[in-house]
Structure 1
Amino acid sequence: MPDVPNQETLRAEILRMAHKRGIGKTVCPSEVARSLGGSDEKVWRLLMQPIRRAAITLSDEGRVVIKRKGRPVAPADLKGIYRLSLPDDA
């Protein structure tokens, strides 16, 4: 089984993809996982929880917005499916 990338790598990939997508657009965490882990579902699924932790850190720092059903959600209230975007003032 491949090694899970460290949090710095995960945060960098989230930001890279969010900036590539642009303000007003969102990125699915599974897209980040596939970008780092490839197309093998067994591999990229292992990255989903570490990516969630990285996204929460970035949200706490004000660098990304976590959205659920199109609306910003506080990291403490994060449940289920979510997407990531840049803040409007990025």
Structure 2
Amino acid sequence: MNESQDRRLEQTILELLGRRAPTASICPSDAAREVYEGEDDGWRALMEPARQAALRLVAAGKVDITQAGRAIQPAEARGPIRIRRSR
């Protein structure tokens, strides 16, 4: 993963959230699919980088990550997460 792609994932997360209702959330896979430039399921290789991009955005105070509808700290994240605008 390169720095350019990391930044693109971060920007894509923010853009996707900007297109949705203020209370809506997205899955890291939404950003991975948007950034991946291919027709196959190669976007899956971007899943962990997308999660890491979300964690960087949490640290910057721009987004929250959630599980079961509640905001959690990155250290608590186990399994699937959602990303929403910070509240």
Scaled by the length of structure 1, the TM-score of the pair is: 0.85
Given the alignment of the two structures, is residue 58 of structure 1 paired with residue 57 of structure 2, yes or no? Answer: yes
Q: Report if aligned partners of 2:27, 2:81 keep a CA contact under 8 Å in 1.
A: yes
Report how many residues are paired: 85
RMSD: 1.6
Mind listing any 5+ residue stretches in structure 1 that lack a counterpart?
Answer: none
Given the alignment of the two structures, is residue 77 of structure 1 paired with residue 76 of structure 2, yes or no? Answer: yes
Q: Report if aligned partners of 2:65, 2:72 keep a CA contact under 8 Å in 1.
A: yes
Cα distance in 2 for residues equivalent to 1:83 and 1:58 = 13
Once the two structures are superposed, residues 21-66 of structure 1 have per-residue CA deviations (whole angstroms, 9 ceiling, x without a partner) of 131000111111111115521x100000001111000001110110
Between the two proteins, what is the percent identity of the paired residues? 34
* Structure 2 letter corresponding to 1:29: P
Scaled by the length of structure 2, the TM-score of the pair is: 0.88
Name the counterpart of 1:11. 10
Name the counterpart of 2:86. 87
Name the counterpart of 2:40. 40
Cα distance in 1 for residues equivalent to 2:47 and 2:20 = 20
Mind listing any 5+ residue stretches in structure 2 that lack a counterpart?
Answer: none
